[in-house]
Amino acid sequence: MGKHVLLVEDEVNIIEAIRFILSREGWQVDTHSDGATALDTIRAVRPDLVVLDHMLPGKSGLDILTELRADPDFQALPVLMLTARGQARDREQAEKAGVSRFMTKPFSNLEVVTAVRDLVQLAQ
């Protein structure tokens, strides 16, 4: 597996922070900010890992994850879900939908790098 991440996030500050953190670690980071077209982008880009925001315009990250897991080509794709709402209910729904890991905002740089590295290693 390579080191290619697709970040599906609509907050510019989060996009820039994660892009910087992961690029510095040698990852190629593509970004997308519209939930309605995120699945098409994931299918076209075919990243090694998706970092997916829970709340997106057009379609929620949870809906995207559910559709992704229904597609046999993407059932094993590692997905790190980010959320500003760290409620237990959100975490339970994401886990039920098949999330690989769940992380609340704000997060530390090390936390993101470690999660991405671990998820890709587990998928190999």
* Chain segment 2-17, per-residue pLDDT in tens: 699 999 999 999 999 9
* Domains with residue ranges and CATH for the chain: 4-123 (3.40.50.2300)
* Chain segment 60-76, per-residue pLDDT in tens: 999 999 999 999 999 99
Q: Say if pTM beats, i.e. exceeds, 0.75.
A: yes
* E-state strands within 48-114: 49-53, 79-83, 101-104
